[in-house]
Amino acid sequence: MARNMKMSDKDAGAAMPRAPASPASAARAMKAVYGWLLLLPALLLLAAFTHYPAIATLWHSFFSTPKGRRPAVFVGLDNYQTMRDDPVFWRALWNNLWFALGTIPTSVALALVMALWVNRNLPGRGFLRLSYFTPTVLPMVAVANIWLFFYTPQYGLIAQVLGIFGLPGVNWLGSRETALPALMLVSVWKEAGFFMIFYLAALQGVSPSLREAAMLEGASRWQYFRRVLWPLLMPTTLFVLINALINAFRLIDHVVVMTRGGPDNASTLLLFYIFQVGFSFWDTAYAATLTVVLLAVLGLAALLKFRWLDKRTHYQ
Amino acid sequence: MKRASAHRSEQASAGPEHQGPAESRAMARTGMAQARTGAMLDTIGAWLLGILWILPLLYAVWAAIHPPAYATRFDLFAPLTLENFARAWDAAPFPRYFLNTFFLVTMVLAAQLVLSTMAGYAFARYEFRGRDFVFMLVLLQLMVMPDVLIVENYRTMSWLGVRDTVFAIGLPYFASAFGIFLLRQTFKTIPRELEEAARVEGANGWQILMKVYVPLARPTYIAYGLVSVSYHWNNFLWPLIITNSVNTRPLTVGLQVFSSSDQGIDWSVITAATLLSAAPLLIAFLLFQRQFVQSFLRAGIR
């Protein structure tokens, strides 16, 4: 290779002494062109459906919603003022934060416990892995439909079981106190198995000699977990936490199916409110303004994740 | 790692030299006994959680294969029936929904594989100015997914005049940052010597990609394919927004329309429809459990 390059450099020098571009650099330029050509289709589509809409969202948040023949006019921060004074927006944001706070630690902790169990040689390991992971494969819409039945007052499964013990039924999805927690439960059930997979992968990378050494030294299982496993699993935990955070703001299928944000907006989430404002009230400008807030939240998660990805890619 | 070794030295200093041999043997025995009871507790806990976790699904199966009268009454001798499935199948255009979902998933996967291969190859093996910056721009899609940009993407689809088509459901997902990232990482691990050997034999850039890189990245393709298919089979919000007719609705939206309309509270039929729509993926998962889990692992970890 090197000899070839030298040869061609010399040839080029002899042929056209003043040309600034030698064949080598021409080849490099060609390679750059090919590189861009290979990227082009993907970049165009990404720009059209990710970058452009993100910027357009910000742009449209400064305009009014076009109505009939009246075009959109620049209104400055009016939409943001409306948002500041909109109790439903604050309700949705708080609900979403509670939702994240309620589901993320629970599902991550459960995922870790599941992974620790499945990673050991317990009897029926195949069944356990299957049962933990299966909810992940089901569509959220299907899951929500099944749980909708569980929660149905009087007739539903939970009501029936409570009835056996003579306990009064609760309208789980119909009362303000229980609607959001009921949605959280569905979310945890669906997601824990998914996060388990990541922990399982990390655990399989932990050398068994570490455990043996710890046991030989008389460390208890808790000490082994706390001092050895937990620090080793830290990168996985971070990764899972960020993914869980994104999912908490991105997935609203269960809200659409089970409560439609009700009762009295007690279970509305930010994206669901955007969906309502955008496609039920057709107030696209205000929906854009709300989306800006959602993008800010996701951007924060992005920052965290990029730092994490950076660390990972340096290893490779 | 560091903590582990620190712990070890601590333990060593307080270790066996303070004890007689008999004592340490006794300790070993109680340790064994403790380990055994620990394992027992683990097994019980794991099984309790396992049963609890599978129960909702088992219950759905129960409701679907028994007459509505037994939906909440547990009787081992309740008559089995496929009536609920038949009624669900007749009550809504499920064959059409299946077809739409099948088209959608195939189209999205095909586009994603082609585009991600090209872009991943460019990022892994071509050097040009601005490459790393563009790569960051691509990765941005990992957080700002089309799933949340529903208002603007709806506007774009209206402008393109493709609203209410299966094509419009898939279009925002054709370029996948996740796929590009995965393939770039995989291509980077393939030794350059292989590429140079092919080049010596006279292969051009395109042939090298197709003959060297793509075959060697097969596990990644399978992993990505499974993740993509299950994602788009299950995707709901965007299809709900962009479609409004039977001919374009995928299964998830069809199921929602079916169960929220005039079915009343015939849960047996709704559960049957729910299982029906999840069945292909569920059966594929049960058959290829290992590959599924491996794929999710590979896709997530890399």
- B76 pLDDT above the threshold of 80: no
What pLDDT does A34 receive? 87
Within an 8 Å CB–CB cutoff, is residue B38 touching chain A?
yes
List the one residue out of B162, B187, B172 whose CA is nearest residue B112: B172
What pLDDT band is residue A11 in, cutting at 50, 70 and 90? very low
Whether B289 sits inside 8 A of A130 (CB atoms) is yes
Structure-block tokens of residue B38: 């620990």
In the block, tokens 């080598």 appear at A24
State the average pLDDT for chain A: 83
Q: Which of A39, A49, A279 sits opposite B146 (nearest CB)?
A: A49
A84-98 pLDDT, tens digit each = 999 999 999 999 999
d(CA B255, CA B272): 11
Do residue A228 and residue B3 have CB atoms under 8 angstroms apart? yes
Of A189, A219, A302, the CB nearest to B143: A302
pLDDT of residue B5: 42
Amino acid A28: pLDDT: 82
- Checking if the pLDDT of B28 tops 70, the result is no
In chain A, residues with a C-beta closer than 8 Å to the C-beta of B126 are 31-32, 34-35, 38
What pLDDT digit, counting tens, does each position of A165-193 carry? Answer: 877 777 788 788 888 999 999 999 998 98
Question: Given an 8 Å threshold on Cβ–Cβ distance, is A256 in contact with B12?
Answer: no
Q: Do A147 and B270 touch (CB under 8 A)?
A: no
Q: What mean pLDDT comes out for the span A102-121?
A: 90
User: CA geometry: angle at B9 spanning B6 and B14, to 5°?
Assistant: 130
- % of chain B residues with pLDDT over 70: 82
d(CA A249, CA A100): 8
CB–CB of A298 and B148 under 8 A?
yes
At residue B19, what are phi and psi to the nearest 5 degrees?
-120, 150
In angstroms, the separation between the Cα of residue B239 and the nearest Cα of chain A is 11
pLDDT tens-place string over residues A281-304: 888 899 999 999 999 988 887 777
Q: Could you state, in order of their start, the residue ranges of all structural domains in chain B? A: 94-301
Cβ–Cβ below 8 Å for A31 and B127: yes
Residue A155 pLDDT greater than 80, yes or no: no
Domains observed in chain A = 95-263 (1.10.3720.10)
Q: Which residues of A touch B151 (CB under 8 A)?
A: 57, 274, 278, 284, 287-288, 291
Cβ <8 Å between A41 and B118:
yes
Q: Give the C-alpha separation, A200 to A211, whole Å.
A: 16
- Weakest-pLDDT range from A129-133, B81-85, B278-282: B81-85
CA–CA separation, A285 vs A57, rounded Å? Answer: 8
Give residue-wise pLDDT tens across range A196-240: 888 888 888 788 888 888 888 888 888 888 888 888 888 888 888
Nearest-Cα distance to chain B for A73, in Å, is 17
| pLDDT, position B2 | 41
Q: What is the pLDDT of residue B25?
A: 60
Instruction: Inspect the interface and report whether the beta carbons of B300 and A46 lie closer than 8 Å.
Output: no
Assign A311 a pLDDT band (cuts: 50, 70, 90): low
pTM, 2 dp: 0.83
**Contact call for B143 and A52, based on CB within 8 A:** no
Q: What is the 3-state secondary structure (H, E, C) of chain B?
A: CHHHHHHHHHHHHCCHHHCCHHHHHHHHHHHHHHHHHHHHHHHHHHHHHHHHHHHHHHHHHHHHCCCHHHCCCCCCCCCCCCHHHHHHHHHCCHHHHHHHHHHHHHHHHHHHHHHHHHHHHHHHHCCCCCHHHHHHHHHHHHCCCHHHCHHHHHHHHHHHCCCCCHHHHHHHHCCCHHHHHHHHHHHHHCCHHHHHHHHHCCCCHHHHHHHHHHHHCHHHHHHHHHHHHHHHHHCCHHHHHHCCCCCCCCHHHHHHHHHHCCCCCCHHHHHHHHHHHHHHHHHHHHHCHHHHHHHHHHHHHC
Which CATH number is B94-301 given? 1.10.3720.10
What residues of B are in contact with residue A253 (Cβ under 8 Å)? 236-237, 252
For A74, phi then psi, to 5°, come to -70, 125
Helix (H, G, I), strand (E, B) or coil at A200: helix
| Whether A284 contacts B155, CB under 8 Å | yes
Of B43, B147, B230, the CB nearest to A137: B230
When CB atoms are compared, the residue of A132, A137, A217 closest to B11 is A217
- What is the three-class DSSP state of A134? helix
Query: Over 60: is that where the pLDDT of A314 sits?
Result: no
Distance from CA of B149 to the nearest CA of A (A): 6
Residue B227 CA to chain centroid, in angstroms?
4
What is the rounded CA–CA span in Å between residue A279 and residue A276? 5
Residue type, A212: E
Please tell me the distance from the alpha carbon of residue A197 to that of residue A10, in angstroms, as a whole number.
57
Provide the pLDDT for residue B114: 95
> Is B292 at the interface with chain A, CB within 8 A?
yes
Pick from B24, B164, B204, B237 the residue to mutate for testing the A interface (most A CBs within 10 Å). B237
Check A160 against B129: CB less than 8 A apart.
Answer: no
Cβ distance of B175 and A46 shorter than 8 Å: yes
> How confident is residue B21, by pLDDT bands cut at 50, 70 and 90?
low
Instruction: Give the pLDDT mean for A259-279.
Output: 89
Q: What is the CA radius of gyration of chain B?
A: 27
Alpha-carbon distance of A155 to A112, in angstroms, equals 35
Read off the pLDDT of residues B130-140 as tens digits, 9 standing for 90 and up.
888 999 889 88
Residue A71 has pLDDT above 50, yes or no: yes
Distance (Å) of CA B233 to CA A12, A142, A223, B253, B278: 57, 11, 43, 11, 9
Using the Cβ of B198 and the Cβ atoms of chain A, whether some distance falls under 8 Å is answered with: no
**Chain B from 93 to 152: CB within 8 A of any A CB:** 115-116, 118-119, 121-123, 126-129, 131, 134, 136-152
Instruction: Tell me the two tokens of residue A267.
Output: 């279970």
Mean of the pLDDT values across residues B59-68?
82
- Closest Cβ opposite residue B144 in set A202, A218, A295: A295
Give the count of beta carbons closer than 10 Å to the beta carbon of residue A299.
Answer: 14
Instruction: Name the most confidently modeled range: A120-129, A141-150, B236-245, B270-279.
Output: B236-245
Mean pLDDT of B103-126: 93
Q: Are A49 and B146 in contact (CB under 8 A)?
A: yes
Percentage with pLDDT > 90 across chain A: 28
Predicted pLDDT at B11: 42
Q: To which residue do tokens 């499964």 refer? A: A157
Residue matched to tokens 């023949």: A69
Chain A residues close to B178, C-beta within 8 Å = none
Sequence-distant (≥ 6) Cβ neighbours of residue B254 within 8 angstroms: B92, B93, B94, B96, B97, B100, B246, B277
Alpha-carbon span B178 to B180, nearest angstrom: 5
Which segment of A34-38, B11-15, B200-204 scores lowest on mean pLDDT? B11-15
Is B297 within 8 Å of chain A by CB? yes
**Torsion angle defined by CA atoms of residues B36, B41, B47 and B48, in that order, rounded to the nearest 10 degrees:** 170
Q: Which residue does chain B place closest to A218, by CA atoms? A: B11
Q: How far apart, in whole angstroms, are the C-alpha atoms of residue B52 and residue B61?
A: 15
Give SS3 for A70: strand
Contacts of A35 in chain B (CB under 8 A): 122, 126-128, 131
Query: Which residues 6+ apart lie within 8 Å of B27 measured at CB?
Result: A218, B19
The mean pLDDT of A6-20, rounded to a whole number, is 45
Q: What confidence score (pLDDT) does residue B263 get?
A: 54
On chain B, the residues whose CB falls within 8 A of the CB of A271 are 148, 237
pLDDT at A35 > cutoff 50? yes
Q: How far is A157 from chain B (nearest CA, A)?
A: 6
Task: Tell me which residue of A35, A33, A37, A42 sits closest to B125, measured CA to CA.
Answer: A35
Amino acid at B158: S
Give the one of A31, A140, A202 whose C-beta lies nearest to B234's C-beta: A140
- How far apart are the C-alpha atoms of B183 and B122, rounded to whole Å? 10
Whole-Å CA distances, A5 to A10, A26, B56, B196: 9, 12, 67, 15
Question: Chain A residues with CB inside 8 Å of B205's CB?
Answer: 34
Look up the ipTM and state it: 0.81
Chain segment B98-112, per-residue pLDDT in tens: 999 999 999 999 999
Instruction: Kindly state whether B45 is in contact with chain A, defined as any CB-CB distance less than 8 angstroms.
Output: yes
With b for 16 or more beta-carbon neighbours within 10 A and e for fewer, the B21-32 pattern comes to eeeeeeeeeeee
Q: Name the closest residue on chain A to residue B226, using Cα atoms.
A: A137
